Structure 1
Amino acid sequence: MASAPQPSSAATGRRFSPFAWAIFALGLVLRLLYLGHKSLWLDEAATYTLCRLPFREFAHAWWTHEANMTVYYGFMRLWVHLGSSEFMLRLPSALCGAAAVPVLYEIARRLFDRNVAWMAALLLAVNPSFIELSQDARSYPMTLLLVLASAWFYIDALETDSIRSWTGYVSFASIAVYAHFFAALIIAAFFFAFLAKARAERRWLRGMLAYVALGLLCLPAAAFVVFRSQTLDLYWLDTPSAKMLWNFAKFLFGSGAKVVIALLLLVLGAWFVWSHREWRWRAFFLSLWLLLPVAITALGSMHHSIFAFKYLLICLPAGLLLCTVGAARLPWRWGCIVVAVLTAASIFTDVQFYRKPREDWRALNQFVVTRYQPGDAVTFYPWYTRTAFDYYHERTGPAGLAFGVPMVPPDDLAGTAEDRAHPERVVEGLTNPRIWVVIYHPDRPVPHENERVQTLVSAVPAGYAQVEKKDFPNLELRLFEKR
C-alpha cells in the first residue's frame, strides 16, 4: 500500500467486489435509518410549500427567489404525488446520498486504485455531515451526486477526448448548477484543471467547445444571480474568519480527533501525489476541487456573507480522496486501522445525530391540538415560521384555530432580517380569548434576540396574562389568556 497507486481502467476487472457492495449497502442503511422519525424543520417545510403550489404561483416564486434549486424543486413537485410524509419528502435526498457512494468509488478507482476507492467510499458512506444532509428534504445530496457524475465523465473525457464523455460532463455539470448554484464553483475548478491538462497534452478543441456549451447552458443561472441576488437575504450567515474555516473543516471531516487525523492524512496524500510527476495533475485537480470553491466563497463573503457550510458540501469528495490517498500511503495494516478508527468514530457521531433533537413542529402542533379551545388564535415570531406549523396543522387541525399572521407568501419563505426586527407586529390587533405565541429560536446566535422576545411579550394587548409556557427543541410556546 505504500507504493504509488496505479489507476484502474474502468473497463477491466470486476467492477465492484462484495466488500464494495457492503459499503454501498451501509451508506444506504445509514441514510434510511430513522428517516421519518424527526419533525420537518423550517427549510424542509419551505420545500413542501413550494412543491404543492399551483404552477403559476410556483413560477413567480421561482423567478423572484427560488431559482437556486430549480432541478430539485421540479423533481419534488412530481415526487410529492407519491406521498408527502416526512419519510417520503426526505427519501429522494437519502437515495441521492447513497448513490453518491459508488460514484465516488468509481472516480477513486479511475484516478488511483481499488484501495483508495474502498477507503474513500467507506468514509463518504459514514460521513456525519453528509448523512445529516441526506436526511433533509433539500437539494444538497442531489447536487453532490450530480457533481460526482459530472466528475466521472470529466475524467473520462480528459483521458479519451470522446464526444460522448464531453457530452456527459456538460449534461451533468449543467444540471448540477440548476440543482444548486454553488456547483458552478466546481465547474470553475474543473476548468482550470482542464487548462493545465490541455496545455500539457495539446488537446484543446473538444474541451473548449464543451465549456462554451456549458457556459451557454448556465447563462440563465448567471442572469438570476446578477439580477435577482439582491432579493436574497442570508442575514444569518457570519463573515468568514479563521475560526469559521476551522469549523468548516470539522463539518467536512468530523470534530475532535477525527478532523486532526483527516487533515494529517490529507496533507500526506497531497504531498505524496504532488511528489510523483506522473500524478501531479491529479493533485492539482483535487486541490482545486477542494480549495477553489472555499476561497471564492470566502472572498465573496467579505461584503455580504454566503459562506454556508452545506453549500460547500460539494468539496467533500476531493477532501476524502486526498485523505484516503494519504491512508493508502501508510503500511497496509496501519492504513486500514486509521480508516477503521475514522469509520467507527463517524458511526458513533451518526448515532448521536439520530438522537439529537431538532425543531419539533410536530410535537408543538400536537400540544396546541390537545389544548385547543374554540376561539383560540396562534401567532408566530418570526411570522414566516408559520410555514412549518401549517404542514402539521393541515393534517391534524384543529379546523377552528385562528391565525394572527397571514399565510406565508411563496416568495418570502426564508424571511428577512427586517422580519425579526419588529416582533410586536405579530400580536397587533388580536382580540381572541386565548393567544398561542410560537417563538422560533434558531441554532445560531441571533443578535438582540432576548430583547426582541421581551418586546414581543410586552406588546401582547393589555388585559392578557401568560398562563402557560412550554419549550420544544428550538421552539418556545406561550399561552396568553384574557383576564
Structure 2
Amino acid sequence: MAADQPADEAAGDAPRWRDAVLIGLGATLLAALGSWQVALWSDEAATASAARRSWGELVDLLANVDAVHGVYYALMRLWVGLAGDSALALRLPSALAVGAAATGTYVLAGRLAGRRTALLAGALVMVLPRVTWAGIEARPFALALALAVWATVALHATWHDRRRWPVLAYGALVAAGVAVNVYVGLVVGAHAATAALVRPEGRTLLRSGVAAMTGLAAAAPLVLIAAGQSDQLGDATMDPVTLARNVVVNQWFLGETPTPVSGPASGAPPSGGLTAWQLAGPLLALVVLALAVWGAGLVGRRGRLDLAPVTAWAAPWLVVPTLGTVGYALVSGSGYAPRYLTVAAPALALLAASGIAALRGGRAWVALAVVVVLAAPVYASQRRADAKNGSDWDVVAALVAERSDPGDGVYFPVRVEAVGAPERSLRAVALAYPAQFADLTDVTLVASPGASASLWGRSRPLADAAGSLAHTETVWVVVRADHPAAALDADTTVLRESGFTSTVVHTTARTTILELRRSAFP
C-alpha cells in the first residue's frame, strides 16, 4: 500500500460528498454567526476603505501601500458592489471561505485516512479558534486558508491521478494563494517536504514541481511590489516568552480575542484577572496538541512504510510555515503575527483527528467533546461586541450619528508617530461606518483616502481649518482614550479661540468624544 493511501477505504469507509457539503455549510454558519454584532476595527476599516474606491484609485493605493493585499481588495471591491459594506457583508466572504476550507480538509483527510478521520478533521477545523476568528475577519486570511487547503488536495490528486486537471489546478491554486497571502508560499515549501517523505513517482513529482514553480512565478511580481513597501508584515519585536506563547497558544487556540491593547501581548491577562476564554485557550492547546502528537506518533505502531499518510502530509504543513515565520522574525528582528499562520490550521486539525480516530470506543467521542467544550468560551469571546482588539467603533459611530446634526463638523486628531509614518487617526471610524458620518464635515481633511492614494486620507493642522470651522456650529472631536492629554488640550484651545465655548464630553470604553458648541452662531 502506498505511503499516503488510506487504510480504511477498502472497508467501505470512503469519504462522501454529502458529508463534505454539510461540513462546509456548518463551518460557514458557525463562522458567520454573530459577525454583525462585533464592531469593525482598524484592519477591517482598511478593507472597507480600499473596497469602496474606483479601480483607478485602487491601483494608485496599491502602488503606494498594501500591495500585499491587492488581490483581496480587488475581490472585495466586486463583493461590496453587490452585497454592500455592512459588518456582516464585509465578513461574509471570510465565512464562506472557512466553509470551503473545512470542506477541503474533509476531502483531504478522506483521501489520506478514510471517512472516520475525515469527519473528525472537518469537525475540528471548524471549531479551532484560529479558524473561527478568520471567519469573522474582513481580511484575506480565510481566503488564503481555503486556497492552501484546496492546493493541497490538488497536489494529492496530482500524485494519484493521471488526468491533467489536478496539476493544472495545483499551479493555479498556488498562484492565487500566494497572490492573496504570501504565506501560502510556505505551504508550498511544506509540500516539498511531503514529497521527500512520500516519494511520489519521478515523472509525477516533476509535473507537480513545474506547476508549483509556475504558480510561484505568476505571483512573483505582486510579491516583489509588496516587498518594497514598508510596514507590511508583523507586529513589534517580542521577547522570547511572548513569542513562545504566540506560537504555542495564541496562534491556534485564541485567535485575536478581546484585549485592552493590541500588539504582541494579545492574550495576556487583564488586571481584573483571568476570564473564561483565557483559561480555556491554554487548556485547549494542551488537549489538541497532545492529540496531534498522539496521532503523529502512531507511525511506529501502525507504520505501513515510513510514515502514516496523515503525518506525512500534515506534519510538514504545520511545522514548515511555523519555523519559517519564527526564524524570519528572529533573524530579521521584525515582529511575529500569529494570524499569518492561519494557512496551516488544517494541518493541526488533521493530526488531532488522527489521534482521536485512534482512540477506541467512546473515548473518541469524549475527546472530541472536550475539544468542543474548551473551544466554546474562546468562540464566544470572538463574538463579543468588543472582540476586535477591544474596538467600540460601532458605539462611537452610533453616538455621533444620534446626537449630531447635518452640517456639524468632525475632527479626528492625528496620532503622534515617527517621522515618515503613515498618517493615522480615528478617521478610520468614519471609513468603517460611513453612513453615520455622511452628513458631517471633516474639518481637517485635505484629500480623501481615494484622492491621496492612502488608507486614511491626508489632514491639515486644526489651526489651518478656520475656513471650515467658520461655517460650523458644532464640532465633534473623536480621539482614542489614550490620546496624549497635552495634545488634546492644545486642540481644544484652538477651538475655543475659534469661538467654541460649550463642551460636553462623551466616553466609551476606548474612545473620548468631545462635543463643542458655539455660545452664539449667526
Shorter chain as denominator, the TM-score bin is 0.7 to 0.9
Deviations 1:154-179 (A, max 9, x none): 11222336532221111111101111
- Which of 365, 390, 398 is the equivalent residue of 2:397? 365
- Which of 330, 347, 361 is the equivalent residue of 1:332? 361
**Letter in structure 1 aligned against 2:489:** S
Aligned to 1:436: 476
Aligned to 1:41: 41
1:386 shift after superposition: 1.0
Deviations 1:240-292 (A, max 9, x none): 62432323332313503111111111221221136625252742432221111
Of Structure 1 and Structure 2, the greater helix share is in: 1
Q: Give the whole-Å Cα distance in 2 for the aligned partners of 1:97 and 1:167.
A: 23
Deviations 1:376-409 (A, max 9, x none): 332244344313313434x244624343344335
Q: Give the whole-Å Cα distance in 1 for the aligned partners of 2:150 and 2:234.
A: 33
**Letter in structure 2 aligned against 1:129:** R
With 31-40 and 84-93 compared, the bigger mean Cα shift is at 31-40
Matched-pair contact (CA < 8 Å) for 2:504–2:516: yes
1:482 shift after superposition: 6.5
Matched-pair contact (CA < 8 Å) for 2:67–2:226: no
Matches within 5 A, 1:52-67: 52-67=52-67
**Letter in structure 1 aligned against 2:294:** L
Matched-pair contact (CA < 8 Å) for 2:443–2:465: no
Quick one: structure 1 residues 87 and 459, their matched pair in 2 at CA, closer, same or farther if it must change by over 3 Å?
same
**Letter in structure 2 aligned against 1:119:** L
Matches within 5 A, 1:454-465: 454-462=485-493, 464=496
With 178-187 and 196-205 compared, the bigger mean Cα shift is at 196-205
Matched-pair contact (CA < 8 Å) for 1:5–1:113: no
Quick one: structure 1 residues 474 and 134, their matched pair in 2 at CA, closer, same or farther if it must change by over 3 Å?
farther
Matched-pair contact (CA < 8 Å) for 1:163–1:206: no
Q: Give the whole-Å Cα distance in 2 for the aligned partners of 1:278 and 1:235.
A: 40
Matched-pair contact (CA < 8 Å) for 2:38–2:384: no
Q: Could you say what the CA RMSD is over the residues aligned between the two structures, in angstroms?
A: 3.3
**Letter in structure 2 aligned against 1:287:** A
**Letter in structure 2 aligned against 1:378:** Y
Matched-pair contact (CA < 8 Å) for 1:240–1:301: no
Aligned to 2:267: none
Aligned to 1:353: 382
Aligned to 2:182: 181
Aligned to 1:445: none
Matched-pair contact (CA < 8 Å) for 2:15–2:111: no
Matched-pair contact (CA < 8 Å) for 2:94–2:135: yes
Listed as ranges, the gaps of 5+ residues in structure 1 are: 442-449
Quick one: structure 1 residues 241 and 148, their matched pair in 2 at CA, closer, same or farther if it must change by over 3 Å?
same
Listed as ranges, the gaps of 5+ residues in structure 2 are: 255-280, 416-423
Q: Give the whole-Å Cα distance in 1 for the aligned partners of 2:402 and 2:244.
A: 45
Counterpart of 2:493 in 1: which secondary structure? coil
Alignment partner of 1:392 is 2:392: no
Q: Give the whole-Å Cα distance in 1 for the aligned partners of 2:335 and 2:9.
A: 39
Deviations 1:120-175 (A, max 9, x none): 11111222332222122211111100111100011122233653222111111110
Matched-pair contact (CA < 8 Å) for 1:379–1:427: no
Matched-pair contact (CA < 8 Å) for 2:158–2:204: no
Q: Give the whole-Å Cα distance in 1 for the aligned partners of 2:370 and 2:234.
A: 38
1:323 shift after superposition: 1.3
Aligned to 1:237: 236
Aligned-residue identity in percent = 21
- Which of 282, 290, 296 is the equivalent residue of 2:324? 296
With 311-320 and 210-219 compared, the bigger mean Cα shift is at 210-219
Matched-pair contact (CA < 8 Å) for 1:384–1:412: no
TM superposition score normalised by structure 1 = 0.84
Matches within 5 A, 1:44-443: 44-84=44-84, 85-160=86-161, 162-198=163-199, 204-226=205-227, 228-229=228-229, 231-234=230-233, 236-239=235-238, 241-251=240-250, 252-254=252-254, 255-273=281-299, 276-278=303-305, 280=307, 282=309, 283-302=311-330, 303-358=332-387, 359-372=391-404, 376-382=409-415, 383-393=424-434, 395-397=435-437, 399-406=439-446, 407-408=448-449, 411-413=453-455, 427-430=462-465, 432=469, 434-440=474-480
Deviations 1:408-467 (A, max 9, x none): 35643279xxx9xxxx986444554654332237xxxxxxxx5x5223223225374783
Quick one: structure 1 residues 402 and 428, their matched pair in 2 at CA, closer, same or farther if it must change by over 3 Å?
same
Matched-pair contact (CA < 8 Å) for 1:67–1:178: no
Matched-pair contact (CA < 8 Å) for 1:249–1:259: yes
Matched-pair contact (CA < 8 Å) for 1:377–1:401: yes
Aligned to 2:268: none
1:360 shift after superposition: 2.9
Q: Give the whole-Å Cα distance in 1 for the aligned partners of 2:487 and 2:234.
A: 21
Q: Give the whole-Å Cα distance in 1 for the aligned partners of 2:200 and 2:23.
A: 38
1:330 shift after superposition: 2.1
Matched-pair contact (CA < 8 Å) for 1:379–1:435: no
Quick one: structure 1 residues 36 and 171, their matched pair in 2 at CA, closer, same or farther if it must change by over 3 Å?
same
Deviations 1:336-394 (A, max 9, x none): 2011111122234323332342423232122123332655332244344313313434x
Matched-pair contact (CA < 8 Å) for 1:28–1:94: yes
Q: Give the whole-Å Cα distance in 2 for the aligned partners of 1:119 and 1:279.
A: 24
Counterpart of 1:301 in 2: which secondary structure? helix
Deviations 1:42-93 (A, max 9, x none): 2222212212212222112123322222332222221112131222222111
**Letter in structure 1 aligned against 2:490:** A
Quick one: structure 1 residues 399 and 127, their matched pair in 2 at CA, closer, same or farther if it must change by over 3 Å?
same
Q: Give the whole-Å Cα distance in 1 for the aligned partners of 2:142 and 2:35.
A: 14
1:187 shift after superposition: 1.1
**Letter in structure 2 aligned against 1:33:** L
Q: Give the whole-Å Cα distance in 1 for the aligned partners of 2:17 and 2:55.
A: 46
Q: Give the whole-Å Cα distance in 2 for the aligned partners of 1:42 and 1:184.
A: 26
Matched-pair contact (CA < 8 Å) for 1:7–1:109: no
With 425-434 and 62-71 compared, the bigger mean Cα shift is at 425-434
Matched-pair contact (CA < 8 Å) for 1:468–1:478: yes
Q: Give the whole-Å Cα distance in 2 for the aligned partners of 1:293 and 1:458.
A: 48
Matched-pair contact (CA < 8 Å) for 1:376–1:436: yes
Q: Give the whole-Å Cα distance in 2 for the aligned partners of 1:211 and 1:271.
A: 30
- The alignment covers a number of residue pairs equal to 461
Matched-pair contact (CA < 8 Å) for 1:297–1:306: no
Q: Give the whole-Å Cα distance in 2 for the aligned partners of 1:310 and 1:207.
A: 28
Q: Give the whole-Å Cα distance in 2 for the aligned partners of 1:16 and 1:371.
A: 56
- Which of 457, 477, 480 is the equivalent residue of 2:513? 477
